[in-house]
Amino acid sequence: MLITVLDDHPLIRVGIKGAIKNSMGDVTVEGFESVDEMVEFSENNPVDIAITDLSLRDQSGFEYIRYVNEQHNSIRCIVYTSSNEYRDYKNAIDLGVKGYVRKDSLPEDLMYAIKSVQRGRSYVDSYFMDHKFYYDDFSRILTNREFEVFRCIGKGFNNTKISDKLFISINTVKKHVSQIFSKLQVTDRTELVLMANDYFGGQYDN
């Protein structure tokens, strides 16, 4: 089996390679610090599993995941990241990632994820399993307009700016905000801003 590791920190690459070798024995593990290097290697070698960080110096691991999704869907991707953002997790799963592991997990968790993916199964860090249904509910329990207001609140917009942005009256904004407070069971706007930033990962579409 051929496994690749994409991380721009040499110590992490070496640590992951060593852990895989110790745990799985007869496997080949190659490490890369850039998306371009890993793509070039994947073009010319039969990669089975690709482990990638999301946050790289000048790139994103999502670039490699999208490449796999479009060009080499036989490669099974595992994300190994320090990000706790639900949006990163959701984007990765939507792109077909088979495993999602946080960097503060135990080494055994990453090995279990690799072995699960090798067997054709999926593995998701328990942190995201605990939050998954809660966050997925947002798009179901809020109306489309309430979801737009929720997004604006996350950006730090006050009611006047939301009114201007969405072309609705101040009173309508207040009604939507009140409904959002009730449905998401929050008590103040600061809590709602934090919740929105957690959901959207601090990255908002224009």
For the chain, 206 residues long, the average pLDDT of each consecutive 10-residue run is 95 92 90 95 95 91 93 90 82 91 90 94 82 62 89 92 95 94 86 82 55
Q: What's the confidence (pLDDT) of residue 132?
A: 56
In contact, 76 and 48? CB cutoff 8 Å: yes
Query: Residue 199: its pLDDT value, please?
Result: 73
Hey, what domains does the chain have and what are their CATH numbers? 2-129 (3.40.50.2300), 142-200 (1.10.10.10)
CA distances to 2, 19, 63, 73 from 9, rounded to whole Å, are 21, 16, 18, 26
Q: What is the pLDDT of residue 169?
A: 95
Global model pTM greater than 0.75: no
Q: What is the pLDDT of residue 47?
A: 95
Report the pLDDT value the prediction gives residue 115, as an integer from 0 to 100.
93
140 CB neighbour count, 10 Å cutoff: 7
Q: Which residues pair with 5 in a beta bridge?
A: 31, 51
Q: Which residues are 49's β-sheet partners?
A: 3, 76
Instruction: For residue 52, report the phi and psi dihedrals to the nearest 5 degrees.
Output: -135, 140
Show the CA angle centred on residue 8, arms to residues 87 and 14, nearest 5°.
115
